[in-house]
Each structure stands twice: as structure tokens, then as C-alpha cells.
Amino acid sequence: MKIAPKNRVQRALVAGAGVLALLATAGCSAVNEQATTRHYAASDGIVTSVGPVNLRNVLIVAQDAKSSGRVLGTAVNTSGSPVQLNLSAPSGSASVTIPADGQVKFEDKEHSTTLKAAGAEPGALVPVTIRVNSESSKVQVPVLDASLAEYAPYLESPQPSGSASAEATSEPTETSTSTATHTP
């Protein structure tokens, strides 16, 4: 009969060790942050929100700090009325109207938005103030060049040395905002 209690004790110890091993491995998420819960910009541009407008993958493409800078990215209006989005950088400013519950893709020709100068060399950040209605936010926007082939089509060809360029141009008009796509 001395054998029976010894077996029960051994079984209890093995079962307890198994439970402790299970708890130890299952508790990892209690002390380690889940990577899927962190918000981050998954591409080259920045992600931010100002008022009812969500900006996704916003960046500036330019050959150098003094050449014109093409703004790329998407602006999504989550409100039920059109809003005016203003971008102000030390090198210039631009404005675009985003329709109600719509979006503007700066990559599209009808929404092409260009700053007079990028304001920083490729690889650096430019301070940009984003204003929507009465709300504003100052963000650091990256400047990129044609090192990545997908940005080469957005670089403007060099202008002759005697020509002048506008402060900033933004092509969005009443026609272009009416063609913006609807996002649910």
C-alpha cells in the first residue's frame, strides 16, 4: 500500500508541472505587446488625422530641396460635408477641397498638388502645417526622390534657368472634386 500514495504524489507533481508550463507559455502576451495593436505608417509617407480628414501615406517627391515638390498620398473626408484642406510648408502652400464622405488621391492628375520647392533634401523631413476648417496640426513630412522607381513619374523635369515658377499650384477644382471616389 505504500506504492499507491507515492504514485498519487508523482501524478500530482507531473500534473502541476504541466499546468505551470501551460501558464508560463500562455502568459507571454500579458507582458509583451501585440504587434498588431500598434498603429504605424506601413509605407514611406506619414499617417495622421486632422479634424474629419484622415491623411494616409503623405510625402513629398522632389529632386532636391530647391526643386518643386509634388505632394503624394490620400486625404479622406469622414464628414458629411465638403472640407477645405490646406497644406503650408516653409517653401509654399496648397489647398484642395475634399467632397463629403469622399477622398482625394494626390497621385491622380486631377488632384496634382505641387509646392514651389520641396524645402529639404530627399531623405529629410519638412515641417508642414495641415489645416482643416478651424483645426490644424504640424507634422514632419518625408521628402523622397527617384531612388525608388515608383516615385520617378512624379518628379517634374528640370525647368530652364530663366523661367519662374508659381508659389504653389494645386489643380483641384470644382470639376475634380466631383470626380473623387466615395469611401464607406
Burial tier of 47 (Cβ tally within 10 Å: 0-12, 13-18, 19+): middle
**Residue 7 banded pLDDT, cuts 50, 70, 90:** confident
Q: Quote the CA–CA distance of 149 and 139 in Å, as a whole number.
A: 26
Check: CB of residue 76 under 8 Å from CB of residue 50.
no
**Residue 4 banded pLDDT, cuts 50, 70, 90:** low
pLDDT at 170: 42
pLDDT at 57: 93
**Residue 60 banded pLDDT, cuts 50, 70, 90:** very high
pLDDT tens readout for residues 76-116: 999 999 999 999 999 888 999 999 999 999 999 899 888 89
CA torsion 182-51-140-121 (nearest 10°) is 40
pLDDT at 2: 54
pLDDT tens readout for residues 12-45: 888 888 887 877 776 666 667 777 777 666 678 9
